[in-house]
């Protein structure tokens, strides 16, 4: 089985290599795209096959490793593959969503110039390599390496429209922020090595060290998985093409942080203070991001903040001391959020704008897209029997069992808001009177609808695998039970849907909402802090260093040079070039020597 699990790394790697080196093929556009799609589909099939034969929780992992770094002739780090109960499902999720997104891109990106298309698919292939390599990582070092590589893919794909200044800024910002968080992750990995002498996903013994390592690792998680206040890059990342947002910035890459916690669970488990902090940070993220999503006009930004919010759920769930709920929510979220993004892309494709205010009445023109979007929205809102209901229920249940009542209440509020903002989007985009743009809209081609259908199917039914998932992955038995938070969440969700429908679908409740607050949220207060930090912190500091270097350090060097120049100028006067001056000096010198001899001189 491990050989099958290696396919999602090596096949896309070969594809990427071919596309990178053979530029005529890359510039040919569609052939390159089909090559990449074929390898993605094959990777997906291989991943599913590997999953069926993968070890379940409690069974030993399958693996294959190669020496990578040495130290005194001994290996200190390996690279390779580790297929176990935790990596197998994630591998399936990654390759499945990636394959769907790549097929979808065949339609969505068809109008791009051909070289750009080849480049786009080459980077998609590289992304599958990096993500699969991370999922299958046998140790923390490979995890870190591939984690940075998915960040690189994110940078490249956000900046896909590199000639657009806003895309360039967004791409660079994503790296700046995530790598800022990676200062913590990298320190954590180094400390792990220093403490344990290796990079394994576990630490035994010293719980103080484990807490420190877990806290440092979690810094990285906060950046990658966009936890408040390091979430500022994710909404900007929507500058990339919509399929990229679906794959990287909703389904898989941003969930890497959550997956890191699951992967390094033995370390986090040994660090209760970090877990508690995670619960709170996750819950706050869930609420803050949901509030921000309420007031966005850009359909992708709504979904981006929604992703933030759902990542907050996952992190909060992980903080309860069991990774079942967080991991399961990651899985279902990957399906329905990818679906939502692809459907949003289909909408954007149809009307040519991201702005919700310019949409409306699209349900008539694009029936299938509308249906799929609404399905995704219901799953996200947590309406049974769609998958989101089960996973969100599980998260809330875990919060209840962990007696984390504060985070539980916050998450419940966020659940209501989630339903509200998703219904708002549905109403503004699909219902109501058709806008000028909507009248010219057209349904997307089958090549885009098909992968959406596949994702819709999984988003709808994934919830029924909860029990199996609990057994196979988390060693946690699960039976469906009606709990107070579950019921409350459902009621809140239905209430949110009803309220939003009344406000945006029927135009009632005009007084609901605080324009000043909405404007404040829309202005990006957290973003402002980062901008201030850059403008008033780092950049002036660099300026000071530049000044000091030029005028103090280099000034000292120049002072020497100047002193030598000016000094030699003074000394030059002695060289009159006149014979008699030279003779005078000669004689005077001789007299001095004689006089020195006369008074004793050197004995």
Partner 1 sequence: MNGPPLEAWLALSAALFAVGLFGVLTRKNLVAILLGVELMANAANLNMVALGHFRGTPFGQAAALFSIALTVAEVVVGLAIVVLLARTHKSVDADAPSEMQG
Partner 2 sequence: MPWLSITVLAPLLAAAILLLVPSSSRGTTRVLSAAASLVSLWGAIEVSLAYNLHEGGLQLRETLPLVPSLGINWDLAVDGWGVSLLLLTGLILFAGVFATWTLDDRDKDFYILLLTLVAGVLGVFVSLDLFVFFLFYEIAVLPMYLLIGIWGSTKKIEIKGPFAFALRRLDVGGREYAAMKLTLMLLIGSAFILVGIFALYQGGGARDFGMLHLAEHPLSREAQLWVFPALWLGFGSLAGVFPFHTWSPDGHASAPTAVSMLHAGVLMKLGAFGVMRVGMVLCPEGAVAWAPIVGAVAVINVVYGALGAMSQTDLKYVIAYSSVSHMGVVMLGAATLDTDGWNGAVFQMFAHGLMTGLFFALVGLVYGRAHDREIFRMGGFAKAMPGVAVFFTLAGLSSLGMPGFAGFIAEFLVFLGAWRSGNVVWALAGIVGAWVTAVYVLRAVRAIFWGEGPPERYHHLSDAKGTEWVALVLLGGCLIVFGCWPRLVLDAIDVGTSMHLPVVLQAVKPELAL
Q: Which residues bind partner 1 (CB under 8 A)?
A: 572-580, 583-584, 587
On the question of a cis peptide bond just before residue 229, with omega within 30 degrees of 0, the verdict is yes
Select the span of 161-169, 327-335, 406-414, 471-479 touching partner 2 (CB under 8 A). 161-169
Select the span of 146-154, 233-241, 342-350, 484-492 touching partner 2 (CB under 8 A). 146-154
Rg (C-alpha) for the chain, rounded Å, is 31
Q: What is the distance between the alpha carbons of residues 177 and 222, in angstroms, rounded to a whole number? A: 10
Say which entry of partner 2, partner 1, none residue 175 contacts (CB below 5 to 8 A, set by partner kind): partner 2
Minimum CB distance to partner 1, residue 585 (Å): 11
**Helix (H, G, I), strand (E, B), or coil: what is residue 603?**
coil
Say which entry of partner 2, partner 1, none residue 149 contacts (CB below 5 to 8 A, set by partner kind): partner 2
CA distances (Å), origin 353, targets 138, 372, 437: 44, 19, 9
Binding positions for partner 2, 492-551, rule CB under 8 A: 538-539, 541-543, 545-547, 549, 551
183 binds partner 2 (CB under 8 A): yes
Q: Which helix (H) or strand (E) holds 7?
A: helix 2-21
Answer whether 252's CB lies under 8 Å from 94's CB.
Answer: yes
145 binds partner 2 (CB under 8 A): yes
Per-residue x/- track, 65-94, partner 2 (CB under 8 A): --xxxxxxx--x------------------
End-to-end alpha-carbon separation of the chain, Å? Answer: 95
Say which entry of partner 2, partner 1, none residue 183 contacts (CB below 5 to 8 A, set by partner kind): partner 2
Structure tokens at 463: 């919830």
Among 45, 110, 191, 526, binds partner 2 (CB under 8 A): 191
Say which entry of partner 1, partner 2, none residue 578 contacts (CB below 5 to 8 A, set by partner kind): partner 1
User: Which residue, 572 or 603, has its beta carbon nearer to partner 1?
Assistant: 572
Q: What is the distance between the alpha carbons of residues 135 and 299, in angstroms, rounded to a whole number? A: 30
User: Which residue, 20 or 488, has its beta carbon nearer to partner 2?
Assistant: 20
Minimum CB distance to partner 2, residue 300 (Å): 21
Say which entry of partner 2, partner 1, none residue 71 contacts (CB below 5 to 8 A, set by partner kind): partner 2
Q: What is the distance between the alpha carbons of residues 325 and 332, in angstroms, rounded to a whole number? A: 11
Angle at 341 between CA 497 and CA 95, to 5 degrees: 125
Minimum CB distance to partner 1, residue 574 (Å): 7
3-state helix, strand, coil in the chain (%, to 5): 75, 5, 20
Answer whether 277's CB lies under 8 Å from 319's CB.
Answer: yes
Do strands 74-83 and 62-71 pair parallel, antiparallel, or not at all (unpaired)? antiparallel
Cα Dmax for the chain: 120
User: Which residue, 58 or 543, has its beta carbon nearer to partner 2?
Assistant: 543
Task: Report the Cα 369 to chain-centroid distance in Å.
Answer: 27
Select the span of 163-171, 291-299, 301-309, 362-370 touching partner 2 (CB under 8 A). 163-171
Minimum CB distance to partner 2, residue 147 (Å): 8
User: Which residue, 556 or 598, has its beta carbon nearer to partner 2?
Assistant: 556
382 binds partner 2 (CB under 8 A): no
Binding positions for partner 2, 455-474, rule CB under 8 A: none
């Amino acid at each position: 089985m491990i050989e099958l699990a290696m396919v999602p790394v090596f096949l896309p790697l070969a594809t990427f290599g071919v596309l990178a080196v053979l530029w005529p093929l890359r510039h040919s556009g569609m052939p390159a795209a089909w090559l990449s799609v074929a390898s993605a589909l094959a990777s997906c099939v291989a991943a599913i096959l590997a999953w069926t034969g993968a070890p379940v929780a409690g069974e030993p992992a399958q693996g294959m490793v190669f020496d990578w770094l040495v130290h005194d002739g001994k290996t200190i780090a390996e690279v390779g593959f580790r297929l176990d109960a935790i990596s197998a499902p994630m591998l399936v999720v990654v390759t499945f969503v990636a394959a769907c997104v790549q097929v979808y891109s065949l339609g969505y990106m068809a109008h791009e110039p051909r070289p750009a298309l080849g480049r786009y698919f080459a980077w998609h292939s590289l992304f599958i390599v990096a993500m699969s390599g991370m999922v299958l990582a046998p140790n923390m070092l490979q995890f870190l390496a591939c984690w940075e590589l998915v960040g690189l893919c994110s940078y490249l794909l956000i900046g896909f429209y590199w000639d657009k200044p806003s895309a360039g800024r967004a791409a660079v910002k994503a790296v700046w922020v995530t790598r800022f968080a990676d200062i913590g992750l990298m320190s954590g990995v180094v400390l792990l090595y220093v403490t344990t002498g290796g990079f394994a996903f576990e630490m035994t013994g010293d719980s103080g060290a484990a807490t420190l390592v877990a806290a440092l690792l979690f810094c990285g998680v906060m950046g990658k998985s966009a936890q408040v206040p390091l979430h500022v890059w994710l909404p900007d990342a929507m500058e990339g093409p919509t399929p990229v947002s679906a794959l990287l910035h909703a389904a898989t890459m941003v969930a890497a942080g959550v997956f890191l916690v699951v992967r390094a669970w033995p370390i986090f488990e040994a660090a209760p203070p970090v877990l508690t902090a995670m619960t709170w940070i996750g819950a706050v993220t869930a609420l803050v991001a949901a509030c921000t999503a309420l007031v966005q006009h850009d359909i992708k930004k709504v979904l981006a903040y929604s992703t933030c919010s759902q990542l907050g759920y996952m992190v909060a769930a992980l903080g309860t001391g069991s990774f079942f709920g967080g991991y399961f929510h990651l899985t279902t979220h990957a399906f329905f959020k990818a679906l939502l993004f692809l459907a949003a892309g289909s909408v954007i494709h149809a009307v040519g704008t991201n702005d919700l205010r310019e949409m409306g009445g699209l349900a008539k023109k694009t029936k299938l897209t509308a249906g799929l979007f609404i399905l995704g929205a219901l799953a996200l809102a947590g309406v049974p029997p769609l998958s989101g209901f089960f996973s969100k229920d599980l998260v809330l249940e875990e919060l209840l069992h962990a007696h984390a009542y504060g985070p539980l209440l916050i998450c419940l509020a966020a659940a209501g808001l989630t339903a509200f903002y998703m219904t708002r989007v549905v109403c503004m985009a699909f219902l109501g009177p058709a806008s000028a743009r909507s009248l010219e809209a057209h349904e997307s081609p089958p090549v885009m609808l098909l992968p959406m259908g596949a994702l819709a199917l999984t988003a709808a039914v994934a919830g029924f695998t909860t029990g199996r998932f609990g057994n196979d992955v988390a060693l946690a038995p699960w039976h469906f039970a009606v709990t107070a938070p579950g019921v409350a969440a459902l009621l809140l969700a239905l209430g949110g849907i009803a309220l939003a429908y009344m406000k945006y679908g029927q135009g009632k409740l005009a007084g609901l909402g605080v324009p000043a607050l909405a404007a404040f949220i829309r202005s990006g207060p957290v973003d402002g802090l980062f901008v201030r930090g850059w403008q008033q912190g780092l950049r002036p500091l660099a300026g000071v260093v530049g000044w000091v270097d030029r005028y103090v350090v280099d000034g000292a060097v120049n002072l020497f040079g100047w002193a030598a120049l000016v000094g030699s100028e003074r000394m030059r006067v002695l060289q009159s070039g006149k014979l008699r001056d030279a003779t005078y000096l000669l004689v005077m010198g001789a007299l001095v020597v004689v006089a020195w001899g006369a008074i004793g001189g050197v004995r």
